[in-house]
Structure 1
Amino acid sequence: MLKLIIAEDEEIIRRGLITTIDWAAMGAEVIGDAADGMEAWALIHEKHPDIILTDIRMPRLSGLQLAERLHAEKNPAHVIFLTSYADFSYAQRAVRVGACDYLLKPVEEEELMTVLQRIRLQMQAPAPAASGSVGKISLVDWLPLLAGAHLNPHVREVLEFLATHYQERLSVEEMAARQGVSASYLSRKLKETTGHTFNSLLTRFRLQQSLALLAEGRLRVYEVAEAVGFSDYKNYAQVFRKYLDMTPSQYVHQESEAVQTMP
């Protein structure tokens, strides 16, 4: 679940964003809101959100100044600007200081969903692995795929859909039907673009999510398997060993040892 803070000086807009958008359906949770940039700045350091949805113009500290501060301190939170048509070119320039995107008021839920999906994929993209780490196994490097300027729109929709529906029972036939194309066409485009079949992409994505859950240590291994969409623990363990050359329990033990040896 993405943790999100909303910063907007117009209370009616701020409350509308909080109460009218189905955040849970987008895989997000509003953990705080602020009426100006200074209030948002304090709240960010208290709550540590994944995303800040902020008006670009606010009293005391503007959204742009807020983004500049976050950029300067290398805060990993993703900034999305809310802007009007009058501020549109201003928002485009603001993206260069660390904002990941901007949305025109009034916010369209479909556009917001797309931005959140892109952020989720960026956050889930595997970091460069240290020598000897399980991360040396390449699952899928999602971010470069989505960043492709000429990415086939059907492929893009599949990748973005996987980001929020990977726990469900999915098939390339279902995805093709949703888009009004043939399964053979979609399969071919996925293979050409990503180098993987649909089932391989889905499996690798589920595995990436499971690694994060295993590292957290809050769930038992069979609960992790269920949470990310595997049919049962046995299937999960077999797939895990196939792709990562170890069992889930061995991975948990490895992560635990790595934490203990950290300075």
Structure 2
Amino acid sequence: MIHEKTILIVDDEPRTREGIRKTLEEWSAGKNRIQTAASGVEAREWLASQPADLLITDVRMPELSGLSLVEAIQQFPGKPAVLIMSGYADFNYAQQAIKLGVVDYLLKPIDKEQLLQTVQKALHVHEQQRRIQTMEKMVDPKLIDVRERREQRGDTPIGEALAYIEAHLGENMTMREIADSLHLNSSYFSVLFKEQVGLNFSEYLTRKRVQRAKELLVQTAMPISEVAERVGYQTDKYFIKVFKSLEGLSPSKYRHSVHEKN
């Protein structure tokens, strides 16, 4: 059975642990996978071998506390969102939890409605973070270099050209047209563009179009032909050829590979 999300509950008190599990299973109605661990050590080992979307852990546990557990999993791939539970309104615990990026801090005894609201909030936060991470991984390193160069230089005619390209990616455009709009000789514009951007005009335009295409492929269910049109290619055949030359795989395979990883 395919589950939407995996939630791990960690508490050394069996009654609390099982109470939360039961509440979440009733709410989930089989959609999500609800797991439990009786100690921080057990939870750390579990998370080292498989991912979770949400970790709900008690603060005070023998051997490995909840906060130590959260610290221990910071470098794990696919780090879960975290909710901390405690029977004590301890400001220091709350402060440390915030520093570790914990979504919320629940005081025991935990109200069922509050638990469910907080769990849904934490899962939403995790989903947003996952999307951001996915998009960051997709960014062309050469385009990151361009952005850094631009930040160092400030406003120039080339900055205007880049803004125009960004706003009109789906349209036909030539270097001469942009140079003319900036009242620059096209040969001079070409040299200036390469000097300030680090890429020639056509390579930059291609990389920007493929970058936008990657975003559309991952964020929408848009057909390949429509993605091609949206990023300025008149035929999907040529778009696929260009995309494959930069990414090493076709747009449809790229879409599938990113969705598979997530």
Residues 1:120 and 2:127 are matched in the alignment: yes
- Could you list the per-position Cα deviations for residues 1-40 of structure 1 after superposition, in whole angstroms to 9, with x for gaps in the alignment? 121111011100100111122342696421x211111111
Pairs within 5 Å for 1:123-134: 123-125=130-132, 126-128=134-136, 129-131=138-140, 132-133=210-211, 134=213
How far, CA to CA, are the matches of 2:105 and 2:215 in structure 1?
Answer: 34
Aligned-pair distance for 1:112? 2.5
CA RMSD of aligned residues (A): 3.7
Contact 2:51 2:78 in 1 (8 A): no
**Against the structure 1 CA distance between its residues 26 and 253, is the aligned structure 2 distance closer, same or farther, given a 3 Å change threshold?**
same
* Residue from 226, 241, 246 that aligns with 1:241: 226
Contact 1:68 1:98 in 2 (8 A): no
- Unmatched 5+ stretches in structure 1: 140-206, 212-235, 259-263
Residues 1:83 and 2:86 are matched in the alignment: yes
**Against the structure 1 CA distance between its residues 116 and 254, is the aligned structure 2 distance closer, same or farther, given a 3 Å change threshold?**
closer
Pairs within 5 Å for 1:24-63: 24=28, 28-30=32-34, 32-63=35-66
- Unmatched 5+ stretches in structure 2: 141-209, 241-249
Residues 1:135 and 2:214 are matched in the alignment: yes
Alignment length, in residue pairs? 163
Contact 1:103 1:112 in 2 (8 A): no
Q: Which has the larger radius of gyration?
A: 2
Aligned-pair distance for 1:256? 6.5
How far, CA to CA, are the matches of 1:257 and 1:59 in structure 2?
Answer: 42
How far, CA to CA, are the matches of 2:87 and 2:62 in structure 1?
Answer: 16
* Residue from 114, 117, 122 that aligns with 1:110: 117
Identity %: 28
Per the alignment, residue 74 of structure 2 pairs with: 71
Contact 1:26 1:113 in 2 (8 A): no
Contact 2:81 2:125 in 1 (8 A): no
Contact 1:6 1:34 in 2 (8 A): yes
Counterpart AA for 1:127: M
* Residue from 14, 19, 23 that aligns with 2:22: 19
Secondary structure of 1:80's aligned partner: strand
Aligned-pair distance for 1:238? 5.7
**Against the structure 1 CA distance between its residues 255 and 13, is the aligned structure 2 distance closer, same or farther, given a 3 Å change threshold?**
same
Contact 1:5 1:33 in 2 (8 A): yes
How far, CA to CA, are the matches of 2:228 and 2:106 in structure 1?
Answer: 39
Aligned-pair distance for 1:97? 2.4
How far, CA to CA, are the matches of 2:33 and 2:135 in structure 1?
Answer: 25
- Could you list the per-position Cα deviations for residues 68-106 of structure 1 after superposition, in whole angstroms to 9, with x for gaps in the alignment? 111255662222211234335412322212433322223
Contact 1:56 1:91 in 2 (8 A): no
